[in-house]
């Protein structure tokens, strides 16, 4: 077999991000090799170390039974998340399993993750500490466990739909079908690459339980700075969409005024001009939001015309309700009309955004079911 053929024959890439894990490499390669016998696997280290981990990988690779590669980065862009992404880009197989380099993630779980992935109904398999028989005993101490639990809850509350059935979106141990992932849509920063993938793509997820073990050697790289990055990431993921939606709303408002102006200038009555302008901007906003805001959710949502019908109905009802409420605020409560307008528009914006995220672009029932966990 030529070198090229051999390259193509790899059917599983185990991606291991490392930062100063020299003491773990040999043991990790040994245990991965022992567990992936059924596959033509390769191990790909993506390394940002300063302790010579990459030399240790090169040394171990010489005697390994599997192809073992290392990519060493001098500029560790995106930290751990960036390393994982690069690993997925450079993997020779589409089936990728990502795991930590300190053996807190037991390599013996890899075959089960791959098997679940190959059932074909999901594209991500999360190894979870919080489902079935999984445990998180290996987390350093009670504080670390509490932070992990707490941030887990907050995150799941922020993405109730997408994470409905994902109990451990922060794990660094998961399998993924790379061919179904658009790597360009991801903006990794710090530790939580899986969360990024789940929230930004429509890929379906299943979970398998695992026991989070103690470190084999070395020390954890989790830090306060990672915590801050994580909060930034949550904000971007949650409110990035919202800002884009707000921008489109603003464009719509300007268009609305311009259309009314143009139509009345052409001699149309004010009321008719306002109605035409409102309907045109409702349709325009829907199309823009489809394209720029909710693009990643379309694949698993209902069909285009049903989304349009729901959105169109909602917006018409919303305007019909908003205008009399505004009248009451001005006439009965004596509010200045710009204030009343601003308040009702702000509330309407939040309601509209929430309704579109959770209802118009909600996953179809068949998608929801297959995304669930069966272990």
What are the residues binding ligand GDD (CB under 6 A)? 17-19, 21, 46-48, 76, 79-80, 83, 100-102, 104, 148, 170, 172, 191, 220-222
102 makes contact with Mn ion (CB under 5 A)? yes
* Least distance in angstroms from the C-beta of 211 to ligand GDD: 13
Is the Cβ–Cβ distance between 25 and 52 less than 8 Å? Answer: no
Residue (of 156, 38, 15, 29) closest to 84 by Cα position = 15
Is the Cβ–Cβ distance between 95 and 177 less than 8 Å? Answer: yes
Which residue lies nearer to Mn ion by CB, 134 or 202?
134
Single residue of 13, 35, 53, 104 touching Mn ion by CB under 5 A: 104
Residue (of 35, 45, 186, 46) closest to 114 by Cα position = 35
Query: Which positions ≥6 away from 294 have C-beta within 8 Å?
Result: 241, 301, 356, 357, 360, 361
The alpha-carbon radius of gyration of the chain (Å, integer) is 25
Q: Report strand pairing: 124-128 vs 174-177.
A: antiparallel
Is the Cβ–Cβ distance between 139 and 145 less than 8 Å? Answer: yes
Q: Give the residue closest to ligand GDD by C-beta.
A: 172
Which residue lies nearer to Mn ion by CB, 214 or 331?
214
171 makes contact with Mn ion (CB under 5 A)? no
Which residue lies nearer to Mn ion by CB, 101 or 209?
101
CA dihedral 226, 200, 371, 227 (to 10 degrees): 10
Instruction: Please choose which of Mn ion, ligand GDD, none residue 54 contacts, taking the beta carbon within 5 to 8 angstroms, the exact cut-off set by kind.
Output: none
Which residue lies nearer to ligand GDD by CB, 84 or 301?
84
* Least distance in angstroms from the C-beta of 101 to ligand GDD: 3
148 makes contact with Mn ion (CB under 5 A)? no
Instruction: Please choose which of ligand GDD, Mn ion, none residue 169 contacts, taking the beta carbon within 5 to 8 angstroms, the exact cut-off set by kind.
Output: none
Which residue lies nearer to ligand GDD by CB, 155 or 311?
155
Binding site for Mn ion (CB under 5 A): 100, 102, 104
């Amino acid at each position: 077999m030529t070198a090229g053929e051999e390259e193509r024959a790899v059917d599983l890439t185990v991606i291991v991000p490392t930062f100063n894990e020299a003491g773990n490499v040999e043991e990790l390669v040994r245990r991965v090799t022992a567990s992936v016998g059924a596959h033509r696997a390769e191990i790909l280290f993506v390394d940002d170390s300063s302790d010579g981990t990459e030399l240790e990988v090169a040394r171990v690779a010489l005697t390994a039974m599997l192809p073992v590669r290392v990519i060493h980065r001098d500029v560790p862009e995106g930290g751990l998340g960036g390393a994982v992404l690069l690993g997925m880009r450079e993997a020779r197989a589409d089936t990728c399993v990502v795991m930590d380099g300190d053996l807190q993630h037991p390599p013996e779980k890899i075959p089960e993750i791959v098997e679940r992935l190959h059932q074909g109904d999901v594209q991500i398999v999360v190894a979870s500490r919080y489902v079935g028989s999984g445990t998180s005993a290996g987390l350093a101490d009670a504080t670390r466990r509490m932070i992990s639990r707490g941030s887990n809850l907050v995150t799941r509350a922020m993405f109730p739909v997408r994470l409905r059935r994902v109990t451990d979106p922060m794990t660094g141990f998961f399998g993924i079908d790379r061919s179904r992932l658009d790597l360009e849509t991801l903006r990794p920063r710090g530790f939580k690459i899986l969360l990024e993938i789940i929230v930004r793509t429509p890929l379906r997820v299943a979970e398998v339980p695992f026991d989070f073990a103690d470190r084999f050697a070395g020390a954890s790289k989790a830090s306060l700075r990672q915590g801050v990055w994580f909060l930034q990431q949550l904000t971007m993921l949650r409110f990035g969409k919202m800002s884009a939606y707000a921008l489109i709303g603003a464009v719509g408002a300007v268009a609305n005024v311009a259309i009314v102006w143009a139509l009345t200038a052409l001699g149309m009555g004010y009321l008719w001009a306002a109605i035409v302008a409102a309907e045109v901007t409702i349709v325009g906003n829907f199309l823009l939001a489809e394209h720029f805001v909710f693009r990643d959710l379309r694949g698993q949502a209902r069909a285009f015309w049903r989304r349009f019908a729901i959105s169109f109905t909602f917006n018409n009802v919303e305007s019909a309700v908003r205008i009399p409420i505004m009248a009451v605020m001005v006439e009965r409560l004596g509010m200045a009309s710009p204030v009343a307008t601003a308040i009702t528009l702000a509330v309407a914006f939040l309601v509209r955004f929430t309704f579109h995220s959770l209802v118009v672009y909600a996953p179809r029932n068949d998608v929801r079911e297959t995304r669930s966990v069966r272990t």
